[in-house]
Structure 1
Amino acid sequence: MRMFERRLTSPWRRSAVAALAGALPVLTFPAPSLWWFAYVALVPWLLLVRSAPTGRRAAYDGWCGGFGYLVAVHHWLLPSLHVFIFLIGALLGLLWMPWGWLVRRYLGGTPSPGRCAVALLVLPSGWLLVELVRSWQGLGGPWGILGAGQWQVAPALRLASVGGVWLLSFLVVAVNVAAAVLIAVRGARMPAVATVVATAAATTAAWAWAPRPQIDGRTRIAVVQPGVVAGRDSAELRFDREERLTRRLVGQDVDLVVWGESSVGYDLAGRPDLSRRIAALSRATGADVLVNVDARRSDRPGIYKSSVLIGPNGPTGDRYDKMRLVPFGEYIPARSVLGWATSVGKAAGEDRRRGTEQVVMNVGHGLRIGPLICFETAFPDMSRHLAEDGADVLLGQSSTSTFQHSWAPEQHASLAALRAAETGRPMVHATLTGVSAVYGPGGQRLGPWLGTGADTARVYDVPLAHGTTLYVRYGDWPVHTALLVLAALCAGEGVRALRTRRGGPEPLVPPARTAHGSPARPGH
């Protein structure tokens, strides 16, 4: 370890190593999906930061690691954003600077067991605060939250029903800190072992005692995935293919048919012929059809992305307009300043308009659905609110065709497992070009994924469950707890600094001496 630290005397070399160390957690997300690696993925970064010679250098190590983390988990955006991905990584990486300082503050040098015990609470709380801030929609949203890498682990999904993906992130960071303490701090291994044991106990307790979704019904939902459609009239060609695939569902006793994001490229009010064709499909299949319109509306100015429900008699009147838009992809923040981005990457030429409220739709057969559009499936609070409003099934309509040959489709599909587990509601993730997926109320995968090479219509037998998970009931309590921990930390540091300032320097008292004139030893 000391030899390694000596080799990192160059600031540039150290920064590069920090960026590489920060990028390691990307291997826990799809496509690699090395979920087990999450519990040690932060250890190299932690060990590097704790060895920083100063608090300032530790903050820089945090910044560089955060840059590496963000660029790695968003690397598939490179063809669209070009240089912007590095600029965004550098700006948002600044959020990890205080976290880097905290790592050195509590793990640097030869920390006492008490300081290590505090670190096992403070450092995961600091990480959660970083994730909370960067999860704001205007900063890119909660894509790549560390705990999301546990989407396929049954015990982790049970924990998600208790505290959402935030609780998973907290525990993953805590285990990483414990591993770093076990490796680097010989005299403080007891708190580290206790943390690992406590994490195992918490997982076991959640598995045994957390409320489980009680299956109380079933529904049959069909996903229509048309695949890649190219050509000058791609919107018309895609609609024709979706229509043809939907007709294959006739006689299969489905309750709902779901098309992906931007499955209809025209305003239905201006193209009543398309509404009539979809209504005919509804009559033929005996099911309502949920389409997604990406077009300029005739009843109000601007372009909207909207989930529209169409029944046998045409549009039912249920419509949801996308509320949270993708920065640069669907709008450009501060367009008057950053509008030149359209000439560099595939940024939005015109800003989409936002919806104002979430909607729960009533489908035939007594089914209530809560639609989300693409980017929105990454936000735990949106699916939680739909569950609170009475949705029986969560529906995500998405399109990742721009990133067809990257890790993005698999990463996006995996998020639906977490939303299902958090809310205790099944979730359907329907896309244009894959990956489409369906998950049960506990986050378990139902049937195979529809990969990026598939163009098909598939029916899923979806179990329904009701009741309220602890996450739906209490919300983002792990984040609130982390904020309290950090507030208590700041208050304690403030009181300590105030006492030091009031007390002044300690007086220089000469050591006591024995009768023979020699300094007294302890015990004399």
Structure 2
Amino acid sequence: MKLLKNKTFLSMMLGVLWSAPFLFESMWPLAVLSLIFMVYALSEYNTVDLIKYGSLVIFVQNIIAVYWMKALSPVAWILVALILASEFAVFAYLFASLRKRVKRQKNILWLIPFAWYLYEYSRGLGMFKWSWTNLGNWLTWNSDNMAFASVVGLNGLSFILMLFAVSLYSSITKKDKTSKAICLCSLCFIYGFPLKNNIDDFEGEATVRIVSNGKAAIERWDANVLNEIKQFYLEGSSNFETEPQVILWPESAIVSEYPSDVVANISKKSNVPILYGAFINDSENFHNVYGVSYPNKQYLEKPYEKRFLVPMGEFVIFRKLVTEIMPDYGWPVRDVSPGDGGGDIVVNNLNIGPLLCWEALFPEATRTQISKKTDFLVVASNTSWFSQNATQQFSRLIKMRALESGRNMISIITGGGSSIVDINGKVLFESPLGEDLFQNQKIKIQKRNTIFNKFGDFLLLFPSIIICLLNIRRK
């Protein structure tokens, strides 16, 4: 009992519990229930304690989550967790300031879901974008739990979880009927009731060929292995019985710059356009791109440029400091430049919306890539730098993006784990991790105009800001 009264111990245990649903499906209900401790802290702790112990929860949660990703050095794990904890510290200070100026003290409790929404939304802004450990991602195991993502998106699911925690806390402490009703309604939303996504209608079908090598990214720096990989892509992209409309490669399929003569020759031999990930490296910019090589050796002159970059992977935060601390780690010599994105890639009457790897974590990246003509989305990734746990979690996030966008999604991953997900969040196809993949797949062209696709985060963003402002007492 003494340990439960120890705020440091309790905060560390909450951090551990909040990280568990990213690895274990059975843990997310317990993590949701534990949110009442954060509700208590936000409503009752003084400013210093809220900043100190709340930041500790976020630090522990994220250092464990980043550790499970296994892609970064220990220094990078700590640095990422510290940045996220400092962001929470700012939020905690602002919320504590808001508490002091609220007109009616009883409203403080019900401001928490709206304030939390603004906190998680703000984590997706700026250069250091992060949504991997948002609360809503606890629900990615089952598409029914994510049903309301088509209405409110990832941050909206976090809002619903926090609304459930607040109403549960209020039901226990105040025992009022309104809180119990809200608690029941929010619980229904968490389990997808009454909204069920069961869209079966489709406009047509496309035949695509997915080609992805099962070797991990680190192996590609061996020249002999790289030649073997190139031979794999040549054979996998040209030996087929039924000609596909397009061949899809992942991010960093082969180490090359864009446009690639190697890919051009393979496209010519297969007589099919190939979409592939590569780099554009010039004196001013270094872009991670997704482009097209056509059978006539032409190429897409303006490929899709990656907009959302991986912190400590594609760019190094506090580069001078970090490289001095760990000079031999193998940090990238040059940071990747954030790009301008691009529209649909059109090949053989197919309008394909491209995304590159880390971008699939962000609802807004997917939403802004959709047009009325977009037939389906392709996420080209290289998560083989990460652990298998991270790749599996990444694949679950694809389901939420499909629900939000109202488009079927094809995820092509270097190192295995590629998948096809329909607009209902159902996984139609998934390849094993670490195994080669070269096969044709039929994908239905389905389009649904979701509420989130139309309004995005603005559906809850503006109301959250307004509600917080209206509750401030003027001096």
Normalising by structure 1, we get a TM-score of 0.79
Matched residues in 2 for 1:16 and 1:100: separation? 19
Instruction: Please name the residue that 1:503 is paired with.
Output: none
Q: 2:82 aligns with which of 90, 114, 139?
A: 90
Are residues 1:307 and 2:262 paired? Answer: no
Structure 1: distance between partners of 2:197 and 2:326: 49
C-alpha deviation, 1:362, in angstroms? 0.6
Kindly tell me: are residues 147 and 471 of structure 1, through their superposed partners in 2, closer, same or farther at Cα, counting changes over 3 Å?
same
1:484 equivalent to 2:466? Answer: yes
Is residue 229 of structure 2 the alignment partner of residue 238 of structure 1?
A: yes
Measure the CA separation in 1 of the matches of 2:375 and 2:285: 32
Of 6, 13, 36, 1:43 maps to 36
2:404 to 415, 422, 429: 422
- Report the alpha carbon displacement of residue 94 of structure 1 after superposing the two structures with TM: 2.8
Is residue 247 from structure 1 mapped to residue 238 from structure 2 by the alignment?
yes
1:207-218 aligned within 5 A: 207-208=194-195, 214-218=201-205
Residue of structure 2 in register with 1:123 after alignment: 112
Aligned-partner Cα distance in 1 for 2:325–2:205? 47
Q: Which residue of 2 aligns with 1:520?
A: none
What secondary structure, in the 3-state scheme, does the structure 1 residue paired with 2:465 have?
Answer: helix
Of 454, 462, 468, which residue of structure 2 is paired with 1:473? Answer: 454
Correspondent of 1:19 among 2, 12, 18: 12
| Contact 2:380 2:411 (8 Å CA) reproduced | yes
Q: Deviation of residue 208 (structure 1)? A: 4.8
Partner of 1:434: 416
Secondary structure in structure 1 of the residue aligned to 2:264: helix
Question: In the alignment, is the contact (CA less than 8 A) between 2:360 and 2:398 conserved in 1?
Answer: yes
Matches within 5 A, 1:178-197: 178-183=167-172, 185=173, 187-197=174-184
Distance 1:344 1:131, change over 3 A: farther
Larger Rg: 1 or 2? 1
> Once the 2 structures are TM-superposed, how far is the Cα of residue 161 of structure 1 from its aligned partner?
0.9
Deviation, 1:101, is 6.8
Pick from 363, 373, 381 the counterpart of residue 398 of structure 1: 381
Instruction: Using the TM superposition, give the Cα deviation of residue 369 of structure 1 relative to its aligned residue in structure 2, in angstroms.
Output: 0.4
Task: Confirm or deny that 1:379 pairs with 2:379.
Answer: no
Give the residue type in structure 1 aligned to 2:288. Answer: K
Tell whether 2:12 aligns with 1:29.
Answer: no
Q: Is the 8 A contact 1:222 1:457 kept in 2?
A: yes
Report the equivalent of 1:515. Answer: none
Query: Which amino acid letter does the alignment assign opposite residue 435 of structure 2?
Result: A
Paired amino acid for 1:296 = N
> Which residue of 323, 341, 358 corresponds with 1:357?
341
Q: 2: distance between equivalents of 1:73 and 1:453?
A: 22
- Whether the 8 Å contact between 2:129 and 2:308 is mirrored in structure 1 is no
Task: Provide the rounded CA distance (Å) in 1 between the counterparts of 2:355 and 2:71.
Answer: 26
Q: Percent identity?
A: 19
> CA deviation digits over 1:136-172, x for unaligned, max 9?
2522422222112222433333311111112211101
Kindly indicate whether residue 275 of structure 2 is the aligned counterpart of residue 290 of structure 1.
yes
Residues 67, 344 of structure 1: alpha-carbon distance in 2 compared, 3 angstrom cutoff: farther
Match of 1:157 in 2: 146
Give the Å deviation of 1:395: 0.8
Distance 1:73 1:153 in 2: 20
- Aligned with 2:436 (options 455, 479, 483): 455
1:47 and 1:227 map into 2 onto residues whose CA distance is: 47
Change beyond 3 A, Cα 1:50–1:115 = closer
In structure 2, C-alpha distance between the alignment counterparts of 1:4 and 1:204, rounded to whole Å: 33
1:62, 1:192 → 2: CA distance? 25
2:215 match:
228
Cα distance change, pair 158–205 in 1 and its aligned pair in 2 (3 A): closer
Q: Residue 413 and residue 247 in structure 1: after superposition, are their counterparts in 2 closer, same or farther (change >3 A)?
A: same
Give the letter for the 1:465 counterpart: Q
Shift of 1:430: 0.5
Do structure 1's residue 331 and structure 2's residue 312 form an aligned pair?
no
Q: Distance in 2 between matches of 1:194 and 1:472?
A: 29
Q: Which residue, 58, 65, 69 being the options, matches 1:73? A: 65
Whether 1:347 aligns to 2:300 is: no
Q: 1:217 to 1:118 in 2, by over 3 A?
A: farther
TM-score by structure 2 length?
Answer: 0.87
Kindly provide the amino acid, as one letter, of the partner of residue 466 in structure 2: L
Unaligned runs of 5+ in 2: none
Q: String of CA shifts for 1:238-284, please: whole Å, max 9, x gaps.
A: 22222222334x12343322111111312254x53441123312x1x
**Does structure 1 residue 259 correspond to structure 2 residue 249?**
yes
> Would the aligned equivalents of 2:147 and 2:192 in 1 still touch at CA under 8 Å?
no
Question: Aligned-residue CA RMSD in angstroms?
Answer: 3.2
Whether the 8 Å CA contact 2:210–2:438 is kept in 1: the answer is: yes
Query: What amino acid sits opposite 2:229 in the alignment?
Result: R
Q: Distance between the aligned counterparts of 2:345 and 2:251, measured in 1?
A: 17
Residue by residue, what CA displacement relative to the aligned partner does 1:13-34 show, whole Å, maximum 9, x if unpaired?
Answer: x224313213312222245464
Q: Is the 8 A contact 2:366 2:405 kept in 1?
A: yes
Within the candidate set 375, 387, 391, 1:409 is matched to: 391
Match of 1:510 in 2: none
Q: Which residue of 2 aligns with 1:173?
A: 162
The residue matched to 2:343 in structure 1 has which SS? coil
For the Cα contact (< 8 Å) 1:373–1:398, is it kept in 2? yes
